[in-house]
A and B are shown apart, each in its own frame.
Chain A
Amino acid sequence: MAFSQLIINGLIAGAIYALIASSFSLIFNIIKFMDLSPGAIFVTAAFSAYAFNVLFGLHFLIALILAITVAVALALLVNLIVYQPLIKRKSDSFTLLLASFGVFLIITGFILLIFGAEVRTFGLPITKGYELLGFIITKTQITLIVTSIVVFIGLQLFMKKTKLGKAMRAMADNKQVASGIGINVKKITNITFIISAALAAIAGILVGLEQNIDHNMGFLVILKGLTASVIGGIGNVPAALIGGLIIGLVENIGIWYLPSGYKDAIAFVILIIFLIFRPKGIFGVKTREETSG
């Protein structure tokens, strides 16, 4: 009983990490820098959905679509006015990381300004979850887990089967070569940001439904997402989702045996162990840039 519930707890937490990890992983693998701004996109989407749904009274599905649109537009704007000028000047990845942290502070600052520091909710009724096979789970939690699986399969197919996905993989492999064989680097960059923002938005809205919304919910989540995408595998975007689920599981099983105060540390200990013994992650692939440099 307890153990199956423990697994489910891990999967619920893991699904959240997985979705944000997939968002982070796209930019990390294709644009090649650690982008913290999905953490802020995540918050923006949650607040937008809240505003459209609860404040303006729109149907939830319409609010969902509008919120994702807002998130995508914001990500494109950030790319245009902050990241592109930096990439053009060939800044190192650390400058980009810092710029993304600045972007994170600016966006969450605006959220704080507009919505205040109060916690917001979608006001779903709270009931005991369904009892299945000795564990308890709610509808939102099932949606979370199912969404992360669907995104995993979808990304897998997209990257392997579609032309765009293949172009992205080529760019992840080597930007110069990709551009040499006629891939439109600028277009692929924008599409990467669009997909990444949409994924972060879905994650933000689902977390808003499952827990609640506040202006500060993005930072811890993006750190976990970053960890998950490394554990999942460098150079393999969908594997980030698996990394997320693993972290969720190990964290929850870990504090079953350890004092619960160490919960945060557990994910990062696993990360360090992985980096030392299997730096490419579970499903990592060697990309040309790494083998040459």
Chain B
Amino acid sequence: MIEAYFIHLLILIGIYIILAASLNLAMGNTGLLNVGHVAFYAIGAYTSALLALNLNIPFWIGFLAGGILAALFALLIAIPTLKLRGDYLAIATLGLAVVVESILRNWTSLTRGPLGLPGIPKPALFGMTFNNNSYLILVIIFSVITCLIIYYITKSPFGRVLKAIREDELAAASLGKNTTKYKTQALVISAFFAGIAGSLYAHYINFIDPTTFSVLESILIISMIIVGGLASVKGAVIGAVILTLLPEPLRFLPIPSFAIGALRQILYALLLVIILIKRPQGIWGEFTKQKENGA
């Protein structure tokens, strides 16, 4: 029975690995400070869930549809926002995340608003429904494929252009690269995988509502890649593992009833801040290597 708890944690870790690795492609490798990653996650989850609930479309098509719709949304917002840089892009994407959540909450005829979407079916294959154990295998397959694709992209010539844009966009442009096109492509790919993660989440928890997709979730995903290290798939994986596990040991501390919620929140945040101070460039970041090489 104990393993059921760890299987649950591993499934969450797998989903967060997809989210962190995909965000890392846009944020770490390309330098797009995207606080709105959760919007793509939400769109993937809602698309796949609504298709399954309203049209009986199986997960195997739903997850692709979720990814594609998230990617299309990224394409749509890329045009106006990607000319912004640094913190301005961060603030604009933060705004997008809030607006998307607000639409999910208020477009009740489609999303049922705060009532949420219950009863999202678990995926089935050849008449067999996935239980938690087999769902873990599914999540592992998805997260490994995601990591491999993103790793391959970052090592490809395309990935090297992204890196050049991150290091010095003007220089990259002066070499004749259409930087906006490259940045858009990076964001679209990143959004596609976030959409798939959303679909995996929706079909695992079987219930989604707007509260799952708040700005706080975005902050959690960003914490993962900052703690793990920017621009590195390994960093994203380590960050996802650490931050998903971080709250769990705190459950076992003997804390008197009146202080439970507050003390756990303080300890969690304290650990996060300590990790950040001790390792400000992340555990496995590419930036670390460069700074150390340069020095």
Direct contact of A and B (CB under 8 A): yes
Chain A positions near chain B (C-beta within 8 angstroms): 28, 33-34, 82, 85-86, 89-95, 97-99, 101-106, 108-110, 112-113, 223, 226-227, 230, 234, 259, 261-262, 264-265, 268-269, 271-272, 275-276, 279
Q: A34-B87, A104-B269 are in contact. List 7 more A-B contacts (CB 8 A).
A: A86-B280, A91-B281, A93-B86, A261-B105, A264-B98, A265-B106, A275-B92
Chain B positions near chain A (C-beta within 8 angstroms): 33, 80-81, 84, 86-88, 90-92, 94-96, 98-99, 102-103, 105-106, 215, 219, 222-223, 226, 259, 261-263, 265-266, 268-270, 272-273, 276-277, 280-281, 287, 291
**Within the assembled complex, what's the spacing in Å between the Cα atoms of A95 and B277?**
9
Query: What are the residues of chain A within 8 A of B94 when measuring CB–CB?
Result: 223, 226, 268
CB distance B95 to A95 under 8 Å? Answer: no
Q: A106-B269, A272-B95, A272-B96 are in contact. Are A95 and B261 (CB under 8 A)?
A: no
CB distance B95 to A269 under 8 Å? Answer: yes
**Within the assembled complex, what's the spacing in Å between the Cα atoms of A226 and B215?**
14
Q: A265-B103, A272-B92 are in contact. Are A112 and B265 (CB under 8 A)?
A: yes
CB distance A86 to B276 under 8 Å? Answer: yes
CB distance A102 to B280 under 8 Å? Answer: no
Query: What are the residues of chain B within 8 A of A103 when measuring CB–CB?
Result: 269, 273
CB distance B219 to A98 under 8 Å? Answer: yes
List the 10 closest A-B pairs by CB distance, nearest first. A265-B102, A105-B269, A109-B266, A268-B95, A91-B280, A102-B273, A113-B262, A112-B262, A109-B265, A261-B106
**Within the assembled complex, what's the spacing in Å between the Cα atoms of A33 and B226?**
15
**A and B contact pairs by CB, cutoff 8 A, 22 listed:** A82-B277, A86-B276, A86-B277, A86-B280, A93-B86, A94-B90, A98-B226, A101-B219, A104-B269, A105-B266, A106-B265, A106-B273, A109-B265, A110-B266, A227-B91, A262-B106, A272-B81, A275-B81, A275-B91, A275-B92, A276-B92, A279-B84
Query: What are the residues of chain B within 8 A of A98 when measuring CB–CB?
Result: 219, 222-223, 226, 272, 276
| Interchain nearest-CB distance for A149 vs B (Å) | 26
**Within the assembled complex, what's the spacing in Å between the Cα atoms of A110 and B277?**
21
Query: What are the residues of chain A within 8 A of B219 when measuring CB–CB?
Result: 98, 101
CB distance A102 to B102 under 8 Å? Answer: no
Residue of A nearest to B215 (CB): A223
| Interchain nearest-CB distance for A164 vs B (Å) | 25
Query: What are the residues of chain B within 8 A of A95 when measuring CB–CB?
Result: 226, 276, 280-281
Query: What are the residues of chain B within 8 A of A102 when measuring CB–CB?
Result: 269-270, 272-273, 276
**Within the assembled complex, what's the spacing in Å between the Cα atoms of A106 and B261?**
12
Query: What are the residues of chain B within 8 A of A89 when measuring CB–CB?
Result: 280-281
| Interchain nearest-CB distance for A40 vs B (Å) | 11
Residue of B nearest to A111 (CB): B262
Query: What are the residues of chain A within 8 A of B259 when measuring CB–CB?
Result: 113
| Interchain nearest-CB distance for A234 vs B (Å) | 8
**Within the assembled complex, what's the spacing in Å between the Cα atoms of A82 and B274?**
9
**Within the assembled complex, what's the spacing in Å between the Cα atoms of A279 and B92?**
10
CB distance B273 to A223 under 8 Å? Answer: no
**Within the assembled complex, what's the spacing in Å between the Cα atoms of A279 and B91?**
11
Query: What are the residues of chain A within 8 A of B103 when measuring CB–CB?
Result: 265
